[in-house]
Structure 1
Amino acid sequence: MAHNPHDTSAGVFLNETLPGDSRQARQLARRQLIAEAVMAEGAIRIEDITERFGISLMTAHRDIDEMVERGLLHKSRGVVSATPTSLVESSDIYRATRQLEEKQAIAEVAATWIEPGQALFLDDSTTVLQMARLLAVKAPLTVITNSLTLMNELRNGRDITLMGLGGQFHHWCNAFMGRMTREAIAGLRADVFFVSMSAIIDDAVFHQSAETVETKRAMFDAAQKRILMMDNTKFERRALHRFAHLSEFDVVIVNQGTPVATLRRMQELGVNVVVAPMKTGHTPRDEA
């Protein structure tokens, strides 16, 4: 589901269904739009942002200051500019509503691997975040996560024992990572690890952040079963740091709409790939 950062009709995004579907969710969607617009144009006057998105100057400054604090944007003399693209694209603000229907479809299939009584590692990805609304019917569960966003979503969950992983907090992804986080993970064992990454290159998954790779690898090593959740756009991206080969996962879930050639390649590698059906009737596409 591609979005045009130049499109001024922000209401389409702000009405998207997000976890919690609240004022906070709409605020996150608006900030994503602002980040995309700044990335596309390089720099935008704050006054232009107020007109484009139909918000007050105070709201614009509040949104921008939040992203400046998290290292995603720069602000100087009434003009907002972008930081390196890779950091912005890795942030939860940017990722929250991208490929939302695909992520929801993948999450619904992934949830079928959850059984009551299990302990789960859930990473800080926005794809895994879509599982939050599906966990109540699987309870009782123990959920272990480094994602502050996911902690907030699940903190009032009935019959869900929530274990939050501490460590160094990273604003850009709203999650805890680093040595302390990895040491906490090493002392735990979970039944299933659900994870998503930035890119698939040469039959392996990659991420832009080395710290992210190290933290997720600790969860990977401490789980009995590993399930990868990747929408079809991940096959079209690149990232710097290698995480794992596709064959190392017990299950790889992709959405309907993933190229047929890509699916065949994974099957040839012996990957247990599962295709999540799309409600809108997408079909796998052949290579162009």
Structure 2
Amino acid sequence: MSKNTAGKKEQRLAFITELINREGYVTVDALAETLSLSRMTVHRDLDELQSASVLRKVRGGASAFRSAQFESGHTFRARLALDEKRQIAKAAAALASPGDVIIIDASTSAMAVVPHLMEILPLTIITNYWTLLEELRGKSDINLIGLGGNYVHQYNAFLGVVCEQALSELYADVLFASVSALTDLTLYHQDQRIVSVKRAMMQASKRRVLLLDNSKIGHGSLHRLGSVTEFTHVVVDHDVQDAVVEKIRDAGVDVIVAAEDSPQPN
């Protein structure tokens, strides 16, 4: 399987995961039509997601494991595009400096930046992401600020009005954030609650850094977050097409293309 083919498959699996979490049930025929795939390919994708405990195949389609939505909504996504996330995270961390106040959103892409930030302490880190709060609690040279609100198990994060109001009282030097999708210059996410909190984070930040791997480019999602031009920097992996990079740059955004990891010696 070529890397390009593997990337397309990964993008499909992420799309199906988001859809099944949102709708609770999908049919094979609907997926085949939406994704322009054969029913056989859809069945293979569903088999793979069932093996990962994301969904349960039923006659004619698949349904979500309600008790396992946290797994499919968080841990499964953490396993997607790992190489790209590492490359992007390393490049993005260079945009922060010791003493900065940093907001990190509830995404696995932004979480990947954290190990690199440990090299530029001290920092103040603000987040609504319980996974990150657990990771950083007790760390020296980190002033950790947790955003409260309604806890949403699917994302292991706090969302809602309380979270947004807390952000309105804060101001950060840098925001590290990700999205579900980019089409043209428009950013999308499948959950309106996430969109609202991300917008509040953007308003609270001087420099806004978008982390965007190639699997998120070229398709949409349910809710519009805004324009990519609302970010000051976009960090992409080396597999993002040159035309996409140039289009974002032409819109006035600083685009950083992360270097490919060096191959490991045998």
Fold in common (TM above 0.5): yes
Q: What do residues 108-146 of structure 1 show as CA deviations (whole Å, max 9, x unaligned)?
A: 111111111111110011000101211221111010000
Rounded to whole Å, the distance in 2 between the matches of 1:220 and 1:248 is 8
Rounded to whole Å, the distance in 1 between the matches of 2:224 and 2:232 is 18
Cα displacement (A) at 1:89 = 10
Cα displacement (A) at 1:204 = 1.4
Aligned residue identity for 2:64: T
The partner residue of 1:211 within 185, 189, 193 is 193
Judged with a 3 Å threshold, the aligned counterparts in structure 2 of structure 1 residues 201 and 88 are, in CA distance, closer, same or farther, namely farther
The partner residue of 2:46 within 26, 37, 40 is 40
SS at match of 2:244: helix
Judged with a 3 Å threshold, the aligned counterparts in structure 2 of structure 1 residues 190 and 203 are, in CA distance, closer, same or farther, namely same
Rounded to whole Å, the distance in 2 between the matches of 1:190 and 1:125 is 18
* Partner in structure 2 of residue 146 of structure 1: 128
**What is the percent sequence identity of the aligned residues?**
36
- The TM-score with structure 2 as length reference comes to 0.75
Aligned residue identity for 2:86: Q
Corresponding residue pairs, total: 222
Rounded to whole Å, the distance in 2 between the matches of 1:88 and 1:166 is 19
Contact conserved, 1:132 with 1:154, CA < 8 A, in 2? no
Rounded to whole Å, the distance in 1 between the matches of 2:103 and 2:175 is 5
Extract unaligned runs of 5+ from structure 1.
Answer: 6-36, 54-63, 65-71, 282-288
CA RMSD of aligned residues (A): 3.0
- The TM-score with structure 1 as length reference comes to 0.69
Matched, 1:106 2:88: yes
Extract unaligned runs of 5+ from structure 2.
Answer: 11-42
SS at match of 1:138: coil
Aligned residue identity for 1:149: T
The partner residue of 2:150 within 147, 168, 188 is 168
Rounded to whole Å, the distance in 2 between the matches of 1:269 and 1:43 is 37
SS at match of 1:120: strand
Judged with a 3 Å threshold, the aligned counterparts in structure 2 of structure 1 residues 38 and 119 are, in CA distance, closer, same or farther, namely farther
The runs of at least 4 consecutive aligned structure 1 residues that moved more than 4 Å come to: 72-76, 87-90
Matched, 1:261 2:252: no
Q: What do residues 215-266 of structure 1 show as CA deviations (whole Å, max 9, x unaligned)?
A: 1111110111111110011113321111121112110110111111211222
The partner residue of 1:252 within 234, 242, 245 is 234
Rounded to whole Å, the distance in 2 between the matches of 1:176 and 1:228 is 20
Aligned residue identity for 1:83: A
